[in-house]
Structure formats: structure tokens, C-alpha cells
Chain A
Amino acid sequence: MATRPVTGEQRAFMTGNEVVAWAALAAGADIMYGYPITPQNEIMHYWTRMASKYERGFLQTEDEIAAGFATVGGVLAGKRAFTATAGPGNVLMQEAMAMAEMMRLPTVVVVTQRGGPSTATVIYSQQELNLTCFGGNGEGLRIVYSPSSHDELFLYTIKAFNSAWKYRFPTFVLGDGYQSKMREPVTIFDPEARGITMEPCRPMVGLPGLPGEERDPAHLRNTYNLEDELYEVLMTAIKEYEAIAPQVVEWDTYAVDDAELLIIAHGVVSRAARAAVVSLRERGFKAGYFRPVTLRPFPAETLRTLAARARNLMVVESAYGQLKRQVQAGLYGLETPVTGYLRPGMGITPEEIVEFVHAKELI
């Protein structure tokens, strides 16, 4: 029985969903719980084809509610458990993720955004930013990575397991239907070959020793009788989240040093934004680009410094202002005008961005 799915580094040409399955294998994920929804399906397809070869588990549940809660069970049992979903499935998944948030459970969810609201399209959007960052009846104590390429999809899927188990907040990889379905060259690797040590998993139930005699039983709950009890638990979690945020937060920039126009985008759209900046620079316009890699926590401080130097800010996204609201909240008080190129559920090309920049005279 083979145990190492990837040795060293390997070049490949594959879809994003296949990349996620390989990354989960390489990360040592033990079990996936899943329910079919497009455009996530092939993550399960590839996982189920490979799982048995590497002694990994899979359970197809009756819905995303069960997939989310079974993932909660898997991590409670001390296993690297994950699930993947999209759109209305992501809506259902939020119930279990709220429990994970309350109980500090290291769940990993890969989201492949599709059009919304409701059933909408099975194709693509960036409309699940709010839901993934702040879903559930809580405070958004989650880690959300937004990769922009297949290389990053591989890297951040591995990283999601490590961040989840290290910091104990539910962790999401926020992809999208385009990334799921398109093929592009990618380097997959054994984490060890890159010096990445996988964070060890610790069971929270089923611990060794007779409970009540050799050790205290693990009594895990998410319900509290008193306001003060909840407040204490929650404020501890909030303080820890705020303390780890500087270690977790990630961003990417290009040509920002003298940028008069700062174009802000995340995920696959940031590739169009970056290409638009290249094109504007070639024609002598001082444009730059900023990309939050983590949407939760949001790299507001870095963005603020860059935004203060620019004359104009432009947010580009395949949603109607979900990223823009995060940007504006992060930059509150700063007077640099923020313009949005907002295309809910639509793909965005570099040409459109350049055209919009000129039409609005942003540079």
C-alpha cells in the first residue's frame, strides 16, 4: 500500500478540483465527508478514486448539514477531516461551522463559489465572501484563504489544515467555479520536500485513560446558561483571534510603490487586475495592485498604508461590493475615493478593467 501520494515535486496539468484532492492527500488529510454540488463535485471524484489507495476515508452524507457536522465529528476524533461545497451547500454548511467557531474546532472547508443568491448558476462568482467570512450566528472567527492560481490552490489547501490545527479556528479555502474547472500547469509537492511540517492533530474525545478516574472526562459544549459565561468564552476566543491575526494575514502586491491608482481584487479576479496593471504600466500609467490573500483576517493595515499614498482606489470583483465593503471598513476615515467595478456572477477580463479605469478617469 502506497503511503506517500506525492514525492518531491511534480509538474502537472490539471483542474483546480483535482489540485485540491491532491493537496488534501499530500497534507495527510484522513477523511472527507461530502455531498454533491457543482462546481465542487470533482474534488470528491478524485478523492474517492485515490483515498482507498492511501488508506484515507470518505463518506457521502445525506446533505451539507450532515457533511459539515460529520466533519466536526472527524476533527473531534482527532483526524484531519475536511469537506467541500458551494453556493446553497455553503449556506447549509454554516450551521456546523458556527459550532466549529464556538468550540474552536479545526474544520477545513473548500468552497468553490458559484452564482448566487439561491440556486443561481453552477458556474462561477465571488458572491460567497460574506457567507464564508461571516456566516453563522457568530463573529466571523474564521480563517479564509483566497487563492488565485492552481499553485496557490495546492499550497493554501495544505496551509488550511495547518492553520486550522495550529490556531483552532474553522478554516476555509475560498476558490471558485473557474478555478475548479479550468486546467493549468501546477507544481504539486510533498510538504516535507518544501520544509513544511504538518501540524499534529490532537483528539478532543476518545482520549486515553479511564475518564473520571485516570483523567477528567472531556465535556464539550456550545451552549451556556448565563450571558457572562458566554461572554467570557467568546472574548477569550476573540482575543486569541486578534492575537494570531498578524501571523495569519497574507497579501500580495504589484507595482504599488508609486501607484496613483490602486486596483484591489481577490481570487481569480486578481489575475485580471494584475494583467490590467501591467497593461496600464506599459502605457505609462502609474497603476498598482493589491490582493488580500486572507479575507479573514483582512490585511487592512497594509492596505491602509498603500491606499493613503494613492489618488484613487478601485475594487474589482465578481460580486456586488462584498470585497468593497471589507476594503471600505478597513480604510474608514481615509479620504481616498473608492470606485467599484462590480460584476456579480460574471467573469472579468483585464481589458474590461482598463476600459473602466479610462471611462471613469481614475488615472
Chain B
Amino acid sequence: MAIAAQPQMPRVWRAETKPHKFCPGCGHGIVLKALGEAIDALDIQERTIFGCDIGCSLLSWDFFNLDTVQTHHGRTTPVLVGIKRARPELVVVSYMGDGGAYAIGAQHLVSSASRNDLVTIIVVNNTVYAMTGGQMAPTTLPGQKTETTPYGRDARLTGRPILGPELVAAIAPPGAYVARGSIANIVQLKNFIQKGLQNQLEGRGIAFIEALSSCPTNWHTNAAATWRFVEKEMTAYFPVGELRTPEEKPSGRFQEVPPYES
């Protein structure tokens, strides 16, 4: 009997730890596929260090055939910045959710962006704290029901969804690469992540990619409603595209000094 063709895994994926540990319908697998393909395309497996945060992202601690360190909530970027400063020849990827990036670890994100640290940060935005059971996140949409906003997020009391890439784009010096992709467009997402890695390889500055992602478990949605939420409702708040590229013309807004040059 013929065996059905298996979907192609990126070379850098670790087959022994597949199938992965994420819930059915979770976007993490798609983002990690895009990352895997980007690493394969650049042929940087041997010198890439993958760091994952607390929350669902930690389930990727044995995902790749990459040296990997799972850190604390919000602290992945400073650990990888520590590695990069000590061993500049390594390529470091800081992988986390929106809670880790924009709430508990926001000071690290802001500071790494303003220092133009040579780190590639990937933030998976699913609008909730998923591992802890679906509480409101910095990215929860107005009116969205979560465990801590059971009647819907009231923007007057709890603010509006944070715009992570826009934040980083506003403060990062020239040389930064900032983009927002989506699991709804994996080819584009892979290209963004690859450009983000390339930016680090070329020593230009920070790379920051947010990936719009899904959490049917905590959204309590079926497949159709999940895709509708990602493609319609999230995209309405979180526009997809590149916000900063290293090729951009000098804006005059910044003193144009490349990173690590005095």
C-alpha cells in the first residue's frame, strides 16, 4: 500500500520531537515552519542559537536541531543579547509571545530596539495569554472576551491593543528591520523572517518580526471562525507589512549612525 506523501519539514526541524506539542489549530507550528525554512535558506543551522520564552513558546524548547535555551517570562531577549555580546559570530533568535514581548519583557524590547542589538526577535501575537488559560494580553482586541475580560475588553479601562512593530519601528535606529506577518501568508512570513536573520548576519541592527497567529483553544472558535479572526479582525488592528528596512532612505529623524560604530 502506498504511503501518503508526508508534508515537507524544514531540514532544521528535529524529526524526533514531531509531532510537536502545540494544540490543534495553534499558529506556532506555522511560524516555526517559516523560521525553519528561513534558517535552511540561509544555511545558518550550525551557528544559530534559538531562545524561547515562557508561555506556549516554551513548548519549542526541543523543536529544532539547534542549540536552544528556554528562559524566563519576558527574559529571552536579554539572555540572547548576553550570548551575542559574548560570541558575536553566533546568530541569535529570540522567540516569544505577545505577553512576554509587550508586557513583562517590554523594557527589554524597548532597550534592545534603541541599542539596535544584533538579535532577531519573533513575537507570536495570538491576542491572549494562552498557556495560563486565556487571560487578556496587551494585544487583546477591544470587545474581545477573555478569562479576565469576560464581558469583552473595555478599552477605556484597559487600553487598546499594543502595536509592537510600530513601537519598535518608532525607536530603533537606522539599520533596523521591522515587519508584521501572519500565519495566513506563510510565504510572506518566511520572507520577513529571512530578511530579519539576514539583517543580523550583515550586522545592520535589530530585526523584529511580529506574526499574527491563532489560538482556537482559548478563542473557543472552530476552523472557519479562527481564520476569520486572524484574517479580518486582527488584521484590521494589526496591519501586515514591512515597517522598517535597512535600505530605507535616511529619514532625517535619527542621527544616522550604523550600529557598533562610534
CB of A207 to closest CB in B, whole Å: 6
Q: Report yes or no: B81 in contact with A79, Cβ–Cβ below 8 A.
A: no
Q: Which of A61, A77, A78 contacts B111 (CB 8 A)?
A: A61
Contact A206 B111 (CB under 8 A): no
Q: Which residues of B contact A196 (CB under 8 A)?
A: none
Looking at B84-92, B136-144, B194-202, B236-244, the stretch in contact with chain A turns out to be B84-92
Task: State how many angstroms separate the Cβ of A209 from the closest Cβ of chain B.
Answer: 7
A82-101, CB < 8 A from B? 95-96, 99
Which of B12, B70, B79, B107 meets A70, CB within 8 Å?
Answer: B79
Q: Which partner residue on chain B sits nearest A102 by CB separation?
A: B72
Q: How far is the CB of A73 from chain B (nearest CB, A)?
A: 2
Cβ-defined contact, A73 with B61, below 8 A: no
Please give, as numbers and ranges, the residues of chain A lying within 8 Å of B49 by CB-CB distance: 205-206
> Are A218 and B78 in touch, CB under 8 angstroms?
no
> Cβ of A360 < 8 Å from any Cβ of B?
no
Nearest to B14 among chain A residues (CB) is: A212
**Looking at the complex, which one of A95, A205, A219 makes contact with B72 (CB distance below 8 Å)?**
A95
Q: Which residue of B is nearest A66, CB measured?
A: B78
Segment 8-24 of B: residues with Cβ below 8 Å from A: 12, 14
Q: Contact at B46–A99, with CB atoms within 8 Å?
A: no
**A31 to B84 alpha-carbon distance, docked (Å):** 12
State whether B82 touches A33 (Cβ < 8 A): yes
Of B61, B78, B86, the residue contacting A81 (CB under 8 A) is B86
Do the beta carbons of A206 and B75 come within 8 Å of each other? no
In the bound assembly, the distance between CA atoms of A3 and B87 in angstroms comes to 19
Out of A73, A218, A221, which one reaches B67, CB within 8 Å? A218
Which of chain B's residues have a CB closer than 8 A to the CB of A74?
Answer: 82-83, 85-86
B121 within 8 A of A: no
- B65 contact set on A, CB distance < 8 A: 210-213, 217
Q: Report the Cα distance A174→B110, complex, angstroms.
A: 32
Docked Cα-Cα span, A255 to B247, in Å, equals 74
Interfacial chain A residues near B72, Cβ < 8 Å: 69, 95-96, 99, 222
Q: Give bound CA distance, A270 to B62, whole Å.
A: 49
Q: Interface code B168-183, partner A: CB below 8 Å = 1, 0 otherwise? A: 0000000000000000
Give every chain B residue within 8 A of A221 (Cβ-Cβ).
58, 61-62, 69-70
Q: How far is the CB of B58 from chain A (nearest CB, A)?
A: 6
Cα A79 to Cα B90 in complex, Å, equals 14
Size of chain A's interface in residues, with CB distance under 8 A?
41
Residue contact B46 to A211, C-beta cutoff 8 Å? yes
| Chain B residue, CB-CB nearest to A208 | B46
Q: CB distance B69 to A69 under 8 Å?
A: no
Say if the beta carbon of A59 comes within 8 Å of chain B.
Answer: yes
Interface residues of A in 215-248 (CB under 8 A from B): 217-223
B47 part of interface (Cβ distance < 8 Å): yes
Q: Are B54 and A219 in contact (CB under 8 A)?
A: no
A132 within 8 A of B: no
Q: How many angstroms between the C-alpha atoms of A77 and B83 in the bound complex?
A: 5
- Given contacts A66-B111, A220-B70, A221-B61, are A76 and B78 in contact (CB under 8 A)? no
Known contacts A99-B71, A217-B14; A57/B45 CB under 8 A: no
Interface residues of A (CB under 8 A from B): 30-31, 33, 57, 59, 61-63, 65-66, 69-74, 76-79, 81, 95-96, 99, 203-207, 209-213, 217-223
List 13 contacting pairs A-B, 8 Å CB cutoff, sorted by A: A57-B86, A61-B111, A73-B83, A74-B86, A77-B90, A78-B86, A99-B75, A205-B90, A207-B67, A217-B64, A217-B67, A217-B68, A218-B69
Ranked nearest first, the 4 interchain pairs of A and B with the lowest CB-CB distance are: A73-B82, A212-B65, A70-B82, A62-B111
- 20 new A-B contacts, CB < 8 A, other than A74-B85, A95-B72, A206-B49, are A33-B82, A33-B85, A62-B110, A65-B78, A66-B81, A69-B79, A70-B85, A72-B71, A73-B79, A73-B80, A77-B82, A77-B87, A95-B75, A96-B72, A99-B71, A206-B47, A211-B46, A211-B65, A219-B68, A220-B69
